[in-house]
Structure 1
Amino acid sequence: MKVLLADDQALVRGALAALLGLERDLEVVAEVGRGDEVLEAARRSGAQVCLLDIEMPGRTGIEVAAQLRRELPHCRSLVVTTFGRPGYLRRALEAGASGFVVKDTPARELAEAVRRVHAGLRVVDPTLAAESLVDGANPLTEREREVLRVALEGGTVAAISARVHLSGGTVRNHLSAAIGKTGTSTRAEAARVAQERGWL
C-alpha cells in the first residue's frame, strides 16, 4: 500500500514514516509539509492512502480530504491529528475522510487503521466518536463560524464587519446567535468554545 504523509512538522512526518516503514505491506511514497501540496504529490506518487494533519499551512486537512474525494476518489484519506476535537471529527468525515485518529495512537493501531481505510472501511477514534455523539452536530451557521473566526483575533464589531463585508448590525446578530448556541456570555468566550469543540 502506497502512503503519503502530510504534516507541517518535519519531526512528526519523520517519526510516522519510520513507524510505517517497519510494516512490510506499507510504503511511504511521499511526504509534504503543506496542505496545498497534497493533491499534486498524491497524483505524482500514486498514493493510495493520505495521512493528513488538520492544521497545516496552505490548506487544512479537512479541506484536503474534500479535495481528494473530488479529484482523486480512489485515494483515501485518514486524518491523524493532535487536535482530538469532536467537531473536527464530524467535519472531517463529512468532507470525505475515511478515518480520524489522534497522534498518540499506538504504531500498530495506526498501521491497522491505514490498512482498514485502504480496504474501504471507516476508522474512527472510539473516544472521539462517543464525544461527537454527546456533543451533537455543529449548531453554528457558516456565517456565524466566519464571524467567530475573525472574532478570535480580537477587534471591534466595526473591524469584524469590515473583514467579513457585513453591516455592524448583522455582525452583532451573528455574534449574539453564536453566544446563545455556545452557552457563553461574550464573543471571545463563544469563539474560544467553538474552537475547542472543532466547530470553526
Structure 2
Amino acid sequence: MTIDDMRNDLSIKGKNGISFLLSASVIWLIITIIFMQSIEIAQKNIWMLFSTGLMFPLSIGISYVLKAEWKFDNNALGSLGLYLNLAQIIYFPILFWSMLKSPYDAIMIFAIITGAHFFAYGWLYHAKPYYIAAPVIAISMMFLGLYTHADNLWLIPLLMAGFLLILTIALNMDYRKTGKRM
C-alpha cells in the first residue's frame, strides 16, 4: 500500500476527522457560553481549559454515531493523527503564559493554536479544506482578538465554532468526493 493509498484510506474510514471537528464545535460553543458569563477572566480561562476535557469522549461518541473510525491498527499512518493532535499541546506554554500575563488574550491564543494545528491534517487526510482553514482561522482569530473589547470576548469562540462547522461541511463534501474516486 502506497502512502497516498494509506492517506486516502484514513480519509474514507475516518471521514476526514469530522467527528473530532464536530466535537470541537460543541466545545467552542460551550466556551462561548463561558465567556458570556459575568465572572472574572481568570475563571473563564480555567473553565475554558476544563471544557476541553470533553474532546476525546465526545469525539468517540460522535465517531460511533457517524460510523467513522478513529483507530487505525492496520494503517501505518493511523497513529500519526494522534501525534499531530498531541503536537498542539506543545504550544500550550504560550497559552499558559497568556493566562497569567495577558489573560484577556488567552482565548485568542487558544483559538489561533487550534486553527493553526489543522494544517498538518491536510496532508494526513489528503484534504485541501484543512490547508485552507488553518491559516484563515489563525489569521482571523488574531485580527478578531486584536479588535475585540474585553466585554465581547465571546465573539472569538463563537466565530471559532462557526469556522469549525464550515470546515466540517467542506470536509464532508471532500470525503464524499474522495469516496466516489475510490
Higher helix share goes to which structure?
2
Higher strand share goes to which structure?
1
Which TM class, normalised by the smaller chain length?
under 0.3
Please give the TM-score of this superposition, normalised by the length of structure 1.
0.26
Please give the TM-score of this superposition, normalised by the length of structure 2.
0.27
